[in-house]
Amino acid sequence: MITLINYMVAHGSQIWSLTIEHIEMTAIAVGISILIGVPLGILISYVKKLDKPVIGAANVVQAIPSMALLGLGIPLLGIGVLPAVVMVIIYSLLPIIKNTYTGISGIDPQLVEAAYGIGLTKWQVLKKVKLPMALPIIMAGVRISAVTAVGLMTMAAFIGAGGLGYLVFAGIRTVNNYQILAGAIPACILALIVDFLMGLVEKLVTPISLQKKFGASKEQVRKSRKREKVVLIVAAVLICLLIGNGIYSSIEKTQKTITIGSKDFTEQLILCNLYSDVIEKQTDINVVRKENLGGTQVCYEALKKGEIDMYVDYTGTIYCDLLKHSAATDMNKVYNSCKSEMDSKYNIKLLNQCNFNNTYTLAVRKDTSKKYNIKSISDLMNYDNQLRLGCTLEFQNRGDCMPALKSKYGANFKKVVALDGSPRYTALKNKEVEVVDAFATDGLLLKYNLVVLKDMDQLFPPYYAVPCIRGEILKKYPELKKVVNSLSPYLTDKVMMKLNYEVDVKGREPADVAKEFLQEKGLI
């Protein structure tokens, strides 16, 4: 407990900034949900033919897994805050629509008839009778949506929108329980605060006559309502200030700005910070960092659409996964083909590749290696039907990974378990699997003291890291080429494994590790 508190104190500024981002996105999403959901609920309460289709559609959307909905939204909306907010809006609509419809439809028809009888118009009946009476039920739906939205918004980190989910995903990736809790605990507290504030609103919209309890007089209830109004006004002002500050900050950026993205594993976060720091130090260009953007396709599509201006990919990934070539082992051939085709087809410039080859590999525990006398991938294939493989989803689906294993060796593992990120190492340690896929420079290979199997037949193509940058940006800021190329030679296999080790094993922040390395080399 003390260690967790120390961790949260040490990373207080980061936790606070991510909490602010989380509040901003959640407030916007819930606010828009109310603006859409309440009118829809009112509409279907009057037009009865629409109630089943609208509520049915909302039910269907609610049944779609949040990650799937987020994935479907990326091609249409891109990355960042917009798709995250849209996803939460969609998920928040059902309780609001349903409760609004239920609240209005459940009003005593005789009461409504009496309102018409004294000469009120339809609009006046809605405004003065139906909505006031339905408000407690409507607010119950809003309350459910708001609390749920806080939890759902953690998914925003998956597409570079920030928020407290960043700490959760980063902690899972590096097997850092303190980091996971540093994101989860504030999210839980935030959900409780939101529930409390929405509870106050719910009380305020409930008639005083229905709030009398425990012998409290109307005067006491009125005083209580005044205090509750003050609390809500203060909360509303704070939220408005936070949102306003976020908008102002986004407007007040330097003219010379580029955005650098990264995938969702340790090495990518380090590379993003390395290149960002060098560019900011050696030029007058400001860098916006979009970290943790998921897999290759997310970063690649974001680059093509101009949502990011640069990211670091790997030659084997570009050659096989993006350009759809068969695996090749000639480093220069792969690089030159990638450079030429990415430029001619997409106006994406590949700068000098780094000096480290983060190729795919397979790893096993020492006891497994000793038991079956496994030293290489070809050795492993003699026992594959007795062993369980834990690998990432990308490894399972990429043509140069699992399909290549099946084509080359007829691989037929006893069981294949999909495990993204560091949980596959945990599964290996707990003997839930015997084999995992890995990258050659993974720091966790050292942490768990694993045997890396030799690729004697050169099954996996070369995966040299290479900065990818949009042609328009390089034309606009030609100084980037020299700066980016000046860093690449320093990044060797040994260096990257050490930097990854600092994050994965020692639990340090990628940004701190990157800055320290650059300072040691005199680059910043």
Range of the domain at 388: 360-452
Note whether 476 and 329 are same-domain residues. yes
Checking if the pLDDT of 171 tops 90, the result is no
pLDDT of 426-471, one tens digit each?
889 899 999 999 888 888 888 888 999 998 888 888 889 999 999 9
Which residue among 170, 204, 238 closes a domain?
204
Using DSSP's 3-state secondary structure scheme, residue 466 falls into strand
- Residue 460 inside a domain? The answer is no
The full DSSP string for 242-283 is HHHHHHHHHHS--SSEEEEE--SSHHHHHHHHHHHHHHHHHS
pLDDT of the residue at 295:
75
Note whether 190 and 216 are same-domain residues. no
Note whether 429 and 288 are same-domain residues. no
pLDDT of the residue at 221:
62
> What phi, psi does 93 have (nearest 5°)?
-70, -40
Choose between 192 and 207: higher pLDDT: 192
**Domain at 95, CATH number:** 1.10.3720.10
Separation in Å, CA 276 to CA 270, 285, 312, 465: 10, 10, 11, 16
User: Which tokens hold the place of 357?
Assistant: 């080859």
Average pLDDT over residues 74-81: 75
Note whether 338 and 372 are same-domain residues. no
Looking at the DSSP bridge assignments, the partners of residue 360 are 439
Note whether 352 and 381 are same-domain residues. no
In degrees, rounded to 5, the angle at the alpha carbon of residue 272 between the alpha carbons of residues 7 and 508 is 20
- Residue 467 inside a domain? The answer is no
Note whether 76 and 163 are same-domain residues. yes
The full DSSP string for 64-76 is S-HHHHHHHHHHH
pLDDT confidence tier of residue 247, bands split at 50, 70 and 90: low
Checking if the pLDDT of 104 tops 60, the result is yes
pLDDT of 349-384, one tens digit each?
999 999 998 888 899 999 999 999 999 999 999 998
Q: Residues of the chain with pLDDT > 90: what percent?
A: 29
**Domain at 447, CATH number:** 3.40.190.120
- Give the Cα separation of 114 and 167 in Å (integer): 57
Which parts of 347-391 are beta strand (E)? 348-350, 360-364, 388-391
- Residue 462 inside a domain? The answer is no
pLDDT confidence tier of residue 214, bands split at 50, 70 and 90: very low
**Domain at 313, CATH number:** 3.40.190.10
pLDDT of the residue at 381:
92
Instruction: Say how many C-beta atoms besides its own lie within 10 A of residue 272's C-beta.
Output: 26
Looking at the DSSP bridge assignments, the partners of residue 362 are 437
pLDDT of the residue at 96:
92
Q: Residues of the chain with pLDDT > 70: what percent?
A: 92
- Give the Cα separation of 403 and 398 in Å (integer): 7
Cα torsion angle, 437, 402, 488, 159, sign: negative
Would you say the pTM of this structure is higher than 0.85?
A: no
- Long-range contacts, stretch 365-369, CB < 8 angstroms, 24+ apart: 365/428, 365/429, 365/431, 365/434, 365/448, 365/450, 365/451, 366/449, 366/450, 366/451, 368/434, 368/435, 368/451, 369/451
pLDDT confidence tier of residue 71, bands split at 50, 70 and 90: confident
Give the DSSP H or E segment for 438: strand 435-439
pLDDT confidence tier of residue 213, bands split at 50, 70 and 90: low
pLDDT of the residue at 220:
65
Note whether 63 and 178 are same-domain residues. yes
pLDDT of the residue at 253:
52
pLDDT of 272-322, one tens digit each?
999 999 999 999 899 998 887 877 888 888 898 888 999 999 998 899 888
Note whether 178 and 30 are same-domain residues. yes
Amino acid sitting at position 409: Y
Average pLDDT over residues 320-326: 86
Note whether 149 and 200 are same-domain residues. yes
- Residue 292 inside a domain? The answer is yes
Nearest to 361 by CA among 335, 389, 388, 334: 389
* 187, 192, 195, 196 alpha-carbon torsion, rounded to 10°: -140
pLDDT of 24-45, one tens digit each?
889 899 999 999 999 999 999 8
Choose between 227 and 39: higher pLDDT: 39
Cβ atoms of 499 and 446 within 8 Å: the answer is no
- Residue 180 inside a domain? The answer is yes
pLDDT of the residue at 366:
92
- Residue 463 inside a domain? The answer is no
pLDDT of the residue at 211:
56
Question: Which DSSP letter does residue 158 get?
Answer: G
Selection from 229-233, 340-344, 441-445 with the highest mean pLDDT:
340-344
**How confident is the prediction for the chain on average, in pLDDT?**
85
Average pLDDT over residues 152-170: 81
Note whether 245 and 274 are same-domain residues. no
Note whether 228 and 98 are same-domain residues. no
Pairing mode, strands 348-350 and 465-470:
antiparallel
User: Which tokens hold the place of 179?
Assistant: 């980091």
pLDDT-wise least confident of 212-221, 257-266, 463-472: 212-221
pLDDT of the residue at 210:
54
Question: Which spans in 106-213 are helix H?
Answer: 109-117, 122-125, 131-152, 165-173, 177-204, 208-211
Question: Which DSSP letter does residue 418 get?
Answer: E
Checking if the pLDDT of 163 tops 70, the result is yes
Note whether 71 and 154 are same-domain residues. yes
- Residue 279 inside a domain? The answer is yes
- Residue 461 inside a domain? The answer is no
Using DSSP's 3-state secondary structure scheme, residue 96 falls into helix
Checking if the pLDDT of 125 tops 50, the result is yes
Counted domains in the chain: 4
